[in-house]
Structure 1
Amino acid sequence: MTGVGVDKVKCQWVPAWLRLFLLVGIAIASGGCLDHMIADQVLKGPNGGQRSIVSRMLEDGKHVGLNYSCMLNDVDVVEVGPPIARMAYYTVEPKGKFYYVMTRMSRDLDEHAVRKQTVWLDRLGEKIDEEDGQPSDRPALIEHNYEFNAPVYGGEPQILVLGHPVVSVDERVAMEKEPIGTIILLQGLGGSVRENPYLWHLAGMLSNYGYRVVMPDMRGHGDSTGDEIGFGLYEAKDISQLIDDLERKGKVAGKLGIMGHSYGAMMSIYAAAYDKRIEAVLGISPHNWLRDFSGAATNIAKLFRPKVYGLIMTIGNEKTIPSAIEIAADRLGVDPDAHGPAAVISQTDAPLLLLHGDSDQICPFSASEQILAARPENSELLIFKTDDHWTHLYRRTLWQEVLSFMDHYLPESPMDREIDADRHVGAEDNPAWVMWQASLGG
Structure 2
Amino acid sequence: MTMLSSRVLSGLLLSACLVGASGCISNAIAIAFTNAPNGGREAVDPERPVAAIYDRSDELEVPGPPQVSLAYWVMEPGPAKVSFIRDSEQTAAPAAAPGWRYVDSKERPGKGLVRTERGPTAPGAEARATVVVLHGWASQVRTTDTLWHLSATLADAGCRVILPDLRGHGDSTGEYVTSGFREVEDLSALLDHVEAQHGPSPLPVGVIGHSYGGGVAIQWAAHDSRVQGVVGLAPLADIRPSMLPGVRAFARQFRPISWFFYLNWAVNQQAINEAQAKIEERTGTDMATNNALYQITRVEVPVLILQGAEDEATPLEGAEKLRDANPDRVELVVYPKGRHTSFLRDDFTDIEPRLRAWVDGLADSQAR
- Normalising TM by the smaller chain, what interval? 0.7 to 0.9
Under a length normalisation based on structure 1, what TM-score does the superposition of the two structures give?
0.70
163, 182, 185: which one aligns with 2:130 = 182
Name the residue aligned to 2:361: 408
| 1:226-265 equivalence runs, <5 A | 226-250=174-198, 253-265=202-214
Deviations 1:239-267 (A, max 9, x none): 11111111222278521111111111101
* 2:106 equivalent to 1:148: yes
Distance 1:19 1:405, change over 3 A: farther
Name the residue aligned to 2:331: 380
Deviations 1:299-332 (A, max 9, x none): 2443566x85446657973549856753554434
CA distance in 2, matches of 1:224, 1:181: 25
Preserved CA contact (<8 Å) 2:320 2:332: yes
CA distance in 1, matches of 2:221, 2:5: 36
| 1:429-440 equivalence runs, <5 A | none
Q: Which has the larger radius of gyration?
A: 1
Distance 1:303 1:18, change over 3 A: farther
CA distance in 2, matches of 1:185, 1:380: 19
Deviations 1:274-297 (A, max 9, x none): 111111111111121222665344
Structure 1: 5+ residue stretches without partners? 1-13, 58-63, 121-127, 166-171, 415-442
CA distance in 2, matches of 1:299, 1:175: 48
TM-superposed deviation, 1:380: 1.4
Preserved CA contact (<8 Å) 1:180 1:211: yes
Q: Aligned with 1:268: secondary structure?
A: helix
Letter in 2 for 1:192: Q
* 2:20 equivalent to 1:38: no
206, 214, 222: which one aligns with 2:162 = 214
CA distance in 1, matches of 2:351, 2:138: 23
Letter in 1 for 2:84: T
Name the residue aligned to 1:72: 54
Structure 2: 5+ residue stretches without partners? none
| Count of residue pairs brought into register by the alignment | 355
| 1:41-440 equivalence runs, <5 A | 41-52=32-43, 55-57=44-46, 66-68=49-51, 70-80=52-62, 81-95=64-78, 97=79, 99-105=80-86, 107-109=87-89, 113=91, 118-120=92-94, 128=95, 144-149=102-107, 156-164=110-118, 172-174=120-122, 177-250=125-198, 253-291=202-240, 294-302=244-252, 308-310=257-259, 313=262, 317-319=266-268, 322=272, 326-331=276-281, 332=283, 334=285, 336-394=287-345, 395-411=348-364
Preserved CA contact (<8 Å) 2:207 2:227: yes
Preserved CA contact (<8 Å) 2:61 2:68: yes
Q: Aligned with 1:198: secondary structure?
A: helix
Under a length normalisation based on structure 2, what TM-score does the superposition of the two structures give?
0.83
CA distance in 1, matches of 2:251, 2:272: 13
Letter in 2 for 1:33: C
Q: Aligned with 1:179: secondary structure?
A: coil
Q: Which sits farther off after the overlay, 392-401 or 268-277?
A: 392-401
Percent identity over the alignment? 25
CA distance in 1, matches of 2:332, 2:190: 28
Taking only aligned residues, the RMSD between alpha carbons, in angstroms, comes to: 3.5
TM-superposed deviation, 1:66: 4.8
TM-superposed deviation, 1:119: 3.5
Preserved CA contact (<8 Å) 1:257 1:410: no
TM-superposed deviation, 1:337: 4.9
Distance 1:365 1:104, change over 3 A: farther
TM-superposed deviation, 1:148: 2.6
